[in-house]
Amino acid sequence: MPIRRIPLGLAILSFVLAAPATHANWGHWRGEGGNGVSTKATPPTEWSDTQNVKWKVPIPGRGSGSPVVWGNRIYVTTAVAPNGATDTNGQSRQELEYVLMCIDRETGDTVWQQSAATGRPYGGTHNTNSFASASPCTDGQHVYAHFGSQGLFCYTMDGQPVWERDFGDMRTRNGFGEGSSPTIEGEKILVPWDHEGESFLYALNKLTGDNLWRTPRDEPTCWATPLVIEHNGAKQVVMNGQTCARAYDLESGKELWRCGGQTQRPVASAVASDGRVFVGSGHRGSFLAAFDPGGSGDIRGTDSVVWSVSRDTPDIASPLLSDGRLYYYKGKSGLLTCVDAATGKPHYSTQRTGLRNIYASPVAAGGYLFLTDRDGTTVVIKDSDQFEIVAENSVGETVDATPAPVDNQLIIRGERNLFCIE
Please report the DSSP string for 71-115 in residue order: TTEEEEEEEE-TTS---TTS--SS-EEEEEEEEETTT--EEEEEE
Q: Report how far apart, in Å, the C-alpha atoms of 81 and of each of 118, 156, 251 are.
A: 10, 26, 40
Quickly count: other Cβ atoms within 10 Å of residue 119's Cβ. Answer: 12
Instruction: Judge whether 125 and 147 are in contact, CB under 8 Å.
Output: no
Determine the residue type at 322: S
- Give the Cα-Cα-Cα angle 262, 264, 266 (nearest 5 degrees): 70
Local confidence pLDDT in tens for the 422 residues of the chain: 567 776 544 333 333 333 334 467 999 999 989 999 999 999 999 998 889 999 999 999 989 999 999 999 999 999 998 765 544 345 556 889 999 999 999 999 999 999 999 987 777 765 766 678 899 999 999 999 999 888 999 999 999 999 999 998 877 766 666 778 999 999 999 999 998 889 999 999 999 999 999 999 999 988 899 999 999 999 999 999 999 999 999 999 999 999 998 888 899 999 999 999 999 998 889 999 999 999 999 999 999 999 999 999 999 999 999 999 999 999 999 999 999 999 999 999 999 999 999 999 999 999 999 999 999 999 999 999 999 999 999 999 999 999 999 999 999 999 999 999 99
- In 250-335, the DSSP E strands lie at 255-259, 271-273, 276-281, 287-291, 297-298, 305-309, 320-322, 325-329
**Prediction pTM value:** 0.92
Contact 279, 232 (CB under 8 A): no
Total count of domains within the chain: 1
Residue 283 Cα distances to 70, 105, 352, angstroms:
34, 37, 20
Residues composing the chain: 422
Nearest partner of 398 among 126, 85, 64, judged by Cα: 64
What is the domain extent for residue 227? 3-421
Count of alpha carbons within 13 angstroms of residue 106, beta-carbon side: 4
Cβ distance 245 to 259 under 8 Å?
A: yes
CATH number of the domain encompassing residue 139: 2.130.10.10
